[in-house]
Structure 1
């Protein structure tokens, strides 16, 4: 059976990516930080590493550099909330065999893993998330269902997990913004955006993207907080 290491700190993203990878089928170990991933990667043998580009104690590129310096040559797939082509190009240039934008469908995620592990020799395209074409919604149910292959139960479970994490993320953003820590604001909202995509939190995603671009803007922060409140409102 294929053996994979998934490195992802966001609970919503981790839940989806883990379930989709395990369904290949595969045995999947999980790490939520650079430090934990390095321990597992140097102790166990994997067919592929699936590494988030932004982690609480470093970057996916930095982790890959460390593992390569350790003499390990396991193929690596990067996943990121960034959707710009230049961001995906930079990850590939850093040594990742493939870079995928989140949210990614279960099928595209599994195809990416097969490609990286050599189980699928057919060329596939990197799956960046297309831009929104509909009016911005608080919850885009159709988008959420597409992300989980149409399984309404899985979509609901991921949404509940996302909502459970959202107040803590809001509070972290407020603290960082109050301290003038722009990098911390960007890190928090970048992590949030991946989860937004998996659960169809469209308005939250748009506000998080604006705050990521202008972390020192009071208007962007206020819009972010308003989006949090509308997302947390009873459905």
Structure 2
């Protein structure tokens, strides 16, 4: 039976991808870091690997390199929350067959996986989902965009609700996490945290939050820029998004 291994250290991203495989009728196993992915790929034969570029312990490229050195030639696709032309070229040169940018839609996944699996959507994407109105709750604008999020989960509101509950847990920890990162001035750790938060926000249709993450990441990478006001802006956006998510659950 055909099977895929999915590795992603972001719990929300991993759950979305596993749910997507269920909808596509593909058996899937999940790993929450590169080391776990390497262990699983050694133990079991897979028809495809879907590896996140940046993970703890071992990155996606590191996992692929290790597997190739021991003779495992399973085809692999890379995922990343921000794909630049240079990163895409590097990942393809490493041996990945494709590079997909997160957040992914179900349709994008289906197209990417079609060469490897015979798929039938268990829950077809409804054409009406693109017309679902957005949720505009606060002065920050449409913090939760259902029209953007639902096509990615095949129009399944139950899956979207489950993903947003994970985002609630993630956002609740943001104030303490960012206070520690701000105090330590560890830009590498802050950049990595923003990378994961951007992916989570994208899967949930939290487009304002995702844009704030992208903006702050770019400022960190630009020498001489002050990030203090933008970190505060991100905190406020995260707080407003958390309120919006909790309001939806009432």
Aligned match of 2:170: 165
Q: Secondary structure at the match of 2:46?
A: coil
Q: Check the 8 A contact 1:80/1:100 in 2, yes or no.
A: yes
Alpha-carbon distance in structure 1 between the residues aligned to 2:188 and 2:172:
19
For these two proteins, the number of residue pairs brought into alignment is 221
Alignment CA distance shift 1:191-1:154 (3 Å): same
Q: Gapped runs of 5+ residues in structure 2?
A: 120-133, 135-139, 221-225
Of the candidates 190, 210, 213, which is equivalent to residue 218 of structure 2?
Answer: 213
Max Rg structure: 2
Segments ≥4 residues shifted beyond 2 Å: 83-90, 117-120, 134-137, 167-174
Q: Gapped runs of 5+ residues in structure 1?
A: 121-133
| Greater Cα offset, 194-203 or 52-61 | 52-61
| Greater Cα offset, 65-74 or 182-191 | 65-74
Alpha-carbon distance in structure 2 between the residues aligned to 1:165 and 1:97:
32
Q: Deviations over 1:60-114 (max 9, x none)?
A: 1122112212221110011111143433333222210011111111121122122
Q: Check the 8 A contact 1:106/1:149 in 2, yes or no.
A: yes
Aligned match of 1:124: none
| Greater Cα offset, 150-159 or 194-203 | 150-159
Q: Check the 8 A contact 1:53/1:79 in 2, yes or no.
A: yes
TM-score where L is the length of structure 2: 0.82
Q: How much is the aligned-residue C-alpha RMSD, in angstroms?
A: 2.1
Aligned match of 1:19: 19
Q: Check the 8 A contact 2:171/2:239 in 1, yes or no.
A: no
Alpha-carbon distance in structure 1 between the residues aligned to 2:49 and 2:105:
18
Alignment CA distance shift 1:56-1:172 (3 Å): farther
1:146 positional shift: 1.7
Alignment CA distance shift 1:93-1:137 (3 Å): farther
Alpha-carbon distance in structure 1 between the residues aligned to 2:141 and 2:59:
31
